[in-house]
Structure 1
């Protein structure tokens, strides 16, 4: 177990303060009377250290990974932000042992009893870098099970909602099964009702004609996802949705994840588990750099939908970011900013920058995974996203806020 002296050394090593009184307040912790003078950053740092070395905040019962416990992934993100990589590795490894994750992941009973929980996936991905090889394989099995259950819940609705290759203004009598207009088909075949079988045997099918679209005409969706610790569950859901959309021939899908670096995960979209093992949750944030990367990939602005998923806490050049987004909007890129893609409730975000984005012309709000397919369908049809959000009772950010 680490001591207060070790905690103090960590603070000194990072050169967080040149003043003894500030160091002393950090050592005492964010819950002490001396915490009133701590900045927001110092308070987060103090909580991060206390959670592992002093309090019970991360441990609601040994090895607990329940949703009632504070998110391990968020805690790890704070650690990565405040300390150099050498210190982060030590603290993470200590957390891995103290939280009892290794023992739990090695038990078959744990795998069979685990419930689909996106927070669990985020926590395991966060701890991936300090897991032994044998434990990583077990963790992959857990993540695969959770992702499979989430895919089963979200895949069908997503595919049905955003399959933009169907043109409902034209009819055909030789439709594919998924394109049958059952109401018109039944109405047209009522005279073929079979009394004994109590069913209709349709003589002809009526359905929607698929619009033949060339590859060059396909809409392109770029999911640009902030992988800082606070966005952990959004990263998981984004990876799943990106994998689903990549399987739909009507659109081209790219997945770009970022913190202070940018990683393009598009080539791995066939396997969302591999995508998750390729991200690094936590650390700083450079949104401008990520948007710049996406901008370089845009060939036909009027056919491109950039879904920027971030809490807008920018660690890079904020003015350059706003100018870049404004330029994309002027080029007719459909830029939508999601403050979160999760079921976690009201997200934390940079209110000033969110208001600036809204003024630029990028709709800004948070949405749940169940709402996301309809959002994408609305975006792909170039319909009013803000009106859609209002119909969904989603609070959007206004330019004046």
Structure 2
């Protein structure tokens, strides 16, 4: 901020709230706060030289103690809106190597909770002392509750409609007639003189009866780069599991496979059951998911992964082809987050597209529409420029 230390050559100095705001920015982005502003400093903080960057930053910036950082977190919430606070928190963690301080309860109580913070906490889960876990769970639960409030109602409404429409009947009531399909099915009965189609066969939307109509398998890559996707997928998994017409299974994987279906009544338990980081064996995960399918024609499998495969590529693609041939609706998402397409394996994405399973990045707001399309066995609503071949 101009007018800060040494007046920055402007001849005018800051005072009061402006000076305090400048100090909070200087602590993070100043010469003592991680190597200057902008992307280069952040990159250095994530790279191999993070230790040096962190030590230099703490001597002249935020300092190395949780109380000092906690006070800084309180200050930035005083001076900046929530969206800016979340960006500054992420920069502080990346640039200054502050992840370890998140293991201290007083730090967790001071941060502004968001999806990215949850991802960081999950990556630290195994190193987290017992004294911190309750605070961490409270932070995660707050974020999960906010996401459920934002996403649950619309997801249930969208999928309930899709499930109703997916049950086609041949003798529908008038209000349940699917006019588009009925007309298409009876075009052979078109009478040109009367400009009329005679509907010998009616096709209607069935009303969903009680009981399970579709099976859904969420297969989630828990490598470190997929942290935000893991958070959103866990929330969606809990929402889907709450719908009686769906039988939902949630599987996470790295080089091993863990079935967290029994935890779906509480997405916080699901999240703390994950272990972010490690390798990736998509083939092994798909083999497990394939073994759980009992009604292929009524099953939707959603693979959420950046497709960097450490397993056997040919077998992975063979399993996808076999599932699709059996009637499974297979959906491949490179990410389930608001961050856009991540770095991903383009060769594997192209191979999946050749099998009729295009891989694309999906936002949380679009996910209900994607699932509805899969349930109804219609074309997926892939965003422009989002399909990767």
Q: Shorter chain as normaliser: what TM range?
A: 0.5 to 0.7
State the secondary structure of the residue aligned to 2:258: strand
Alignment correspondent of 1:237: 232
Contact 1:71/1:123 (<8 A) preserved: no
Tell me, in whole angstroms, the C-alpha distance in 1 between the residues paired with 2:92 and 2:221: 17
Tell me, in whole angstroms, the C-alpha distance in 2 between the residues paired with 1:225 and 1:73: 25
Contact 1:73/1:229 (<8 A) preserved: no
Relative contact order, higher structure (CA 8 A, sep 6+): 1
Alignment correspondent of 2:50: 51
State the secondary structure of the residue aligned to 1:162: helix
Structure 1 residue 262 and structure 2 residue 252: aligned? no
Structure 1 residue 149 and structure 2 residue 139: aligned? no
Alignment correspondent of 1:306: 301
The Cα shift of 1:67 comes to 3.4
1:361 paired residue among 356, 360, 366: 356
Alignment correspondent of 1:194: none
The Cα shift of 1:130 comes to 1.3
Deviations 1:156-183 (A, max 9, x none): 010011114435985699xxxxxxxxxx
Structure 2: gaps spanning 5 or more residues? 1-34, 36-42, 63-68, 74-84, 176-204
Alignment correspondent of 1:274: 269
State the secondary structure of the residue aligned to 1:299: coil
Alignment correspondent of 1:393: 384
2:87 paired residue among 41, 63, 67: 67
Instruction: Could you list the structure 1 runs, at least 4 aligned residues long, displaced by more than 6 angstroms after superposition.
Output: 56-60, 71-75
CA RMSD, aligned part only?
A: 3.2
The Cα shift of 1:74 comes to 9.8
Alignment correspondent of 1:166: 164
Tell me, in whole angstroms, the C-alpha distance in 2 between the residues paired with 1:211 and 1:379: 17
Contact 1:224/1:306 (<8 A) preserved: yes
CA gap 1:380/1:72 in 2 versus in 1, 3 angstroms? farther
Contact 1:227/1:282 (<8 A) preserved: yes
Pairwise mapping of residues 181-330 of structure 1 onto structure 2 (< 5 A)?
210-215=207-212, 218-330=213-325
The structure with the larger Rg is 2
Tell me, in whole angstroms, the C-alpha distance in 2 between the residues paired with 1:57 and 1:102: 21
Q: TM-score, normalised by structure 2?
A: 0.67
Contact 1:312/1:353 (<8 A) preserved: yes
Q: TM-score, normalised by structure 1?
A: 0.65
Tell me, in whole angstroms, the C-alpha distance in 2 between the residues paired with 1:297 and 1:285: 20
Alignment correspondent of 1:41: none
The Cα shift of 1:326 comes to 1.3
Tell me, in whole angstroms, the C-alpha distance in 2 between the residues paired with 1:374 and 1:74: 34
Structure 1: gaps spanning 5 or more residues? 1-30, 32-43, 76-93, 174-207
State the secondary structure of the residue aligned to 1:210: coil
Alignment correspondent of 2:38: none
State the secondary structure of the residue aligned to 1:134: helix
Alignment correspondent of 2:131: 134
Contact 1:340/1:347 (<8 A) preserved: yes
Structure 1 residue 344 and structure 2 residue 339: aligned? yes
Contact 1:227/1:235 (<8 A) preserved: yes
State how many pairs are aligned: 292
Deviations 1:62-97 (A, max 9, x none): 47793356689999xxxxxxxxxxxxxxxxxx9654
Tell me, in whole angstroms, the C-alpha distance in 1 between the residues paired with 2:377 and 2:56: 45
The Cα shift of 1:363 comes to 2.2
Deviations 1:250-295 (A, max 9, x none): 1111100000110001111000000001000111100000000000
Alignment correspondent of 1:102: 104
CA gap 1:271/1:319 in 2 versus in 1, 3 angstroms? same
Tell me, in whole angstroms, the C-alpha distance in 2 between the residues paired with 1:239 and 1:285: 19
Tell me, in whole angstroms, the C-alpha distance in 1 between the residues paired with 2:273 and 2:149: 22
